[in-house]
Amino acid sequence: MTALGRAGIRLPIILGTAALLSGCLAPEEFNATIDLSGYSYSVELDGRLADPRYVKALQDGQEIPPDADEKMKGQEALAATMPGMERFVYVGEGRFDLAMSLEGELTESNPAIGFPASKSRSGNNFLTIERQEDGSVVVSTPVVPKQALADLNSIGLPATGTVTVTVKGTVLEQNADEEAGQTYSWHRKSWEDRVYLKLDPGES
């Protein structure tokens, strides 16, 4: 995971969007509903992303450059090029609201999709659906490195949201908070909470 240094603090680029959405964005609220059938997926997503550097600067009473919000708002047009992006709006204080809807299929040539940077193949997305070499499918969120975790907690940036995955197939591994039939739910309460589900889609 890439990190940026500023004024003695190292802040993670949790989303793999450095080439498209400038700055360091972290998902302080992230809700997703995922349906998996074989290698086909359908994802509905909404939430709020925050730039920890901006949040930290406000906390420290630093003077924000007069063009900072204008530059942040300029990311809206770049985000609109992301497949599935329906809404990406700067709401002030270094935060963006987003909504996405995307359907597709994991193939051998395109085995993974990440969110919200659905164009990115960097592996730094917050949520990833990936077809493994053994044919299984893994839905996961990343482990936040120890230093990045300390930085986010020191800022007091919240981590909230619910991820729900409904599957057709055999679940091999999962760490959900709730299970109801073939539907699994995770309730995010901290940066240490992680989504992990491994599925045998029943396709050869």
Burial class (CB in 10 A: 0-12, 13-18, 19+), 192: exposed
How far is the C-alpha of 114 from the C-alpha of 126, rounded, in Å?
7
Interval 63-79: pLDDT, tens = 888 888 888 888 888 88
Interval 85-96: pLDDT, tens = 999 999 999 999
92 torsion bin: left (phi>0), alpha (psi -120 to 50), beta (else): left
pLDDT at 173 over 70: yes
CA distances from 80 to 15, 38, 88, 118, 127 (A): 16, 29, 7, 11, 19
pTM: 0.85
Closest CA to 24 of 61, 55, 60, 64: 55
Burial class (CB in 10 A: 0-12, 13-18, 19+), 115: buried
Interval 122-160: pLDDT, tens = 556 889 999 999 999 999 998 888 888 888 888 999 999
Quote the pLDDT of residue 122: 54
Percent of the chain, pLDDT > 90? 56
pLDDT at 9 over 70: no
Interval 21-73: pLDDT, tens = 433 788 999 999 999 999 999 999 999 999 888 888 889 888 888 888 888 88
